[in-house]
Structure 1
Amino acid sequence: MQKPKLLIFDVNETLLDLSSMKESINKALDHEFAFSQWFAFMLQYSLVDTVTSNYHDFGTIGKAAMQMTQEKLSRSIPDSKVQELLSMIKSLPPHPDVKPGLEKLKDAGYRMITLTNSTHEVVTQQMKSAGLTGYFDELMSIESTRKYKPHPDTYQYALQKAGVKPGEAMLIAAHGWDITGALQAGLQAAFINREGQVLYPLATRPQFNEKMLTPITEKLTAL
């Protein structure tokens, strides 16, 4: 495989640990699958916006998805509680393997950016809160394209802005749909197999498939 010139990181679940948010949403709605349903709705309707040439920012879709989740589960919580729960996404901790992995990649000279479905304002707050800002050359969002991952244009936007060809970049993500999108766009990909995450069986396999970032880091620094 070709050594990538650019590493593109997804943010939510890939770098940041959503377990505290999951626990809080499940507790507030008194349902063990409330968070999973909310997150699925959020991803589903971000894609609905994209394929219907519409756009709402990810936070707005997240709020609508919470309303849908309450309706689906026959639950009801105050708007103030909804806002409290959704605001948690701005101050999530990094997974334990993230800082050691990023440190080693930075020391090895890798150029690294983020590419997230969240707005630029939110990813900036997230990275500052998690203490990860200094590892990245740029914090990118799909906001400029108004098309959500895994639309090909989102990856092309990042490549063009970074000045690299598709095969010279690698997406690192914990979502099978994101990995699929990147591979279809011609990028290399590394899947972090976080708990509950799986690859799409009908898609091309990524170059790396590991349970944490650190083994991927070791392989990349050996290239």
Structure 2
Amino acid sequence: MLPEGRSIRTRTERSRYDARVDPPGLLAFDVNETLLSLAPLRSRMEEVFGEDPPVGEWFARMLHGSLVANHINRYRPFGAIGVEALLALAERRGVVVSEEHARELVDAMKALPPYPEVYGALERLFDAGLVMVALTNGSAEVANAQIENAGLHPFLRRVVSVEEVGRFKPDPVPYRHAAEVMGVDLREMMLVAAHDWDCAGAISVGARAVFVSRPGAVWSLPSPGPDLVVADIAELATELVG
């Protein structure tokens, strides 16, 4: 959902926002929490932290670490940041976790399942001729494993990992890189993400953006807002190809 005063651009308003909902030259999907659910990590983390495991806080700390890496110009793989974030959380909660166990938990992200509607929605978009990629803060190795294990590889042209440029989203560089390697103008690219900061990064370089308002995902940033807000990827497919 969006803050008061921010409009949600839906299919019923297609005539007003034609240029914004026309199918793009490139659809770039964020992966974690956009295409894939983090829910299975909860049970894995319960083994370490007990009830109410800090899955959300862990992911937030990973994002924080990536932003710091950008700011000080010291890129490190997202997985390494994830291990460090998990160890820090364990120390904070007084839980003993070995580095090896922390790595195993991070590796569990390779087997995250897609949200229920994702496969069918991507199939509709693919059949309509849209070119799609994954644009992820994860490494190419992890992201390719995720897409393969989730069964989404037939629909995505390739994985574009930030490790190719050494800068994490929402830095402008990864979005520009994705457009460049796919041979499209940034204005022809549409980012799809369940994170407002990711959408904001794409918008800042002139790309279009779709905010996926998964349960718990709230747009909390100032204008400009996303070009489109959808509840899930199935709604996005309906918006773009009917």
User: TM-score under structure 1 normalisation?
Assistant: 0.95
Deviation digits for residues 157-211 of structure 1 (CA, Å, limit 9, x no counterpart): 1111111111111001111110111111111111111122111331422121121
Percent identical? 35
Structure 2 residue runs without a partner (length 5+): 1-18
1:95-140 deviations in whole A, cap 9, x for unaligned? Answer: 1010011000001100001110000111111111111111011111
Greater relative CO, 1 or 2 (CA 8 Å, sep 6+) = 2
Query: Aligned letter for 2:141?
Result: E
Q: Which moved more, 1:23-32 or 1:192-201?
A: 23-32
**Aligned partners of 2:172, 2:100: CA distance in 1, in Å?**
37
The answer to which of 204-213 and 122-131 deviates more is 204-213
1:70 maps onto 2:90 in alignment: yes
Distance, in Å, in 1 between the alignment partners of 2:42 and 2:29 is: 22
**Alignment-mate amino acid for residue 184 of structure 2:** V
Matches within 5 A, 1:133-212: 133-212=153-232
- 9, 32, 45: which is aligned to 2:65? 45
Q: Distance in 2 between matches of 1:89 and 1:120?
A: 13
1:28-107 matched pairs, under 5 angstroms: 28-30=48-50, 32=52, 34-107=54-127
Measure the CA separation in 2 of the matches of 1:83 and 1:9: 25
RMSD: 1.4
Cα distance in 1 between the residues matched to 2:115 and 2:56:
19
Instruction: Go from structure 1 to structure 2 and tell me whether the alpha carbon gap of 1:105 and 1:218 turns closer, same or farther (over 3 Å shift).
Output: same
CA distance in 2, matches of 1:17, 1:102: 16
Q: Is the 8 A contact 2:87 2:99 kept in 1?
A: no
Residue 47 of structure 1: CA displacement?
Answer: 0.8
* Alignment-derived partner of residue 109 in structure 1: 129
Worse-matched range after superposition: 23-32 or 204-213: 23-32
**CA deviation after TM superposition for structure 1 residue 75, in Å:** 1.9
Tell me, yes or no, if the aligned pair for 1:26 and 1:35 is still in contact at 8 Å. Answer: no
User: C-alpha offsets along residues 22-63 of structure 1, whole Å, 9 cap, x if unaligned?
Assistant: 332244212525111211111001110111010110111110
For 2:154, what is the secondary structure of its paired residue?
A: helix
What SS does the corresponding residue of 1:182 show, helix, strand or coil?
helix
**2-structure distance, mates of 1:18, 1:157:** 27
Q: Is the 8 A contact 2:42 2:55 kept in 1?
A: yes
3-state SS of the aligned residue for 1:59?
helix
Query: Would the aligned equivalents of 2:210 and 2:228 in 1 still touch at CA under 8 Å?
Result: yes
Q: How many residues align?
A: 222
- Say if 2:77 and 2:138, in contact at 8 Å, map to a contact too: yes
Question: Displaced runs of 4+ in structure 1, greater than 6 A?
Answer: none
CA distance in 2 between counterparts of 1:31 and 1:187 reads: 41
